[in-house]
Amino acid sequence: SQTIHQWPATLVQPVGSPLSLECTVEGTSNPNLYWYRQAAGRGLQLLFYSVGIGQISSEVPQNLSASRPQDRQFILSSKKLLLSDSGFYLCAWSVQQGRHEQYFGPGTRLTVT
Amino acid sequence: GEDVEQSLFLSVREGDSSVINCTYTDSSSTYLYWYKQEPGAGLQLLTYIFSNMDMKQDQRLTVLLNKKDKHLSLRIADTQTGDSAIYFCAERKTGANNLFFGTGTRLTVIP
């Protein structure tokens, strides 16, 4: 069966510090991968998605970047965090064909102080 | 409209039925989904419906789809306190690699 991992689970970082959040998927090959941000426990904002290694699509101009160095690894980064980067970050995967339903990781709660 | 819309809040008494509504945007969307998010957790896929179906039932969950009005609903029978969560609908638009999510409906079940 497939599983998706995110770490860390929680993170408190000062303004201006760098960020690296990691997401890995097991039990599937060549998945689509997604990063979302959820502010204040409400709606999802799609940040990035990837259909393959090194292929990243950015949905929203922002202070963040994403990379996919391996097939089942997706990394969200920032060089300098802003207060507005605080939120709940969710990684998800889907198969590339068929229904495209997405399966979500447990999330990372980021607080920028 | 351009956004998938949902009511923000719904309160029901334990044992009653809950109906969560969603209006989506693309009449040619092929699949529509319902997700559940418990506090502090990721989203869990509850069910989906293919666009050529009007209804799908899965135990206590019933999904109704009205393609003409682009309206999707999720009915939870015999609602329990464990059903308290945020529920998101999502659509897969034609040609898109990603899903488009609604704003979420926070369901509160009153004992």
> Region B19-26: what's the mean pLDDT?
94
Say what the pLDDT of residue B28 is.
Answer: 84
Q: Do B98 and A49 touch (CB under 8 A)?
A: yes
Taking only the tens place, the pLDDT of each residue in B46-91 is: 999 998 999 999 999 999 999 999 999 999 999 999 999 999 999 9
Other beta carbons within 10 Å of A25: 21
Other beta carbons within 10 Å of A52: 13
> Region A39-56: what's the mean pLDDT?
86
Q: Do A107 and B103 touch (CB under 8 A)?
A: no
Say what the pLDDT of residue B2 is.
Answer: 64
Taking only the tens place, the pLDDT of each residue in A57-76 is: 988 767 899 999 999 999 99
Residue B1: pLDDT band by 50, 70, 90 thresholds? Answer: low
Q: Which residues in A lie closer than 8 A to residue B31 (C-beta atoms)?
A: 99-101
DSSP state of A59: S
The two counts, helices (H) then strands (E), for chain B are: 0, 11
The three-class DSSP label of residue B69 is coil
Please check whether residue A113 is in contact with residue A103, taking contact to mean a CB–CB distance below 8 angstroms: no
Q: Does B10 touch chain A (CB under 8 A)?
A: no
Q: Do A90 and B42 touch (CB under 8 A)?
A: yes
Mean pLDDT estimate for chain A = 92
Say what the pLDDT of residue A41 is.
Answer: 55
Nearest to A25 by CA among A42, A6, A11: A6
Taking only the tens place, the pLDDT of each residue in A75-99 is: 999 999 999 999 999 999 998 777 7
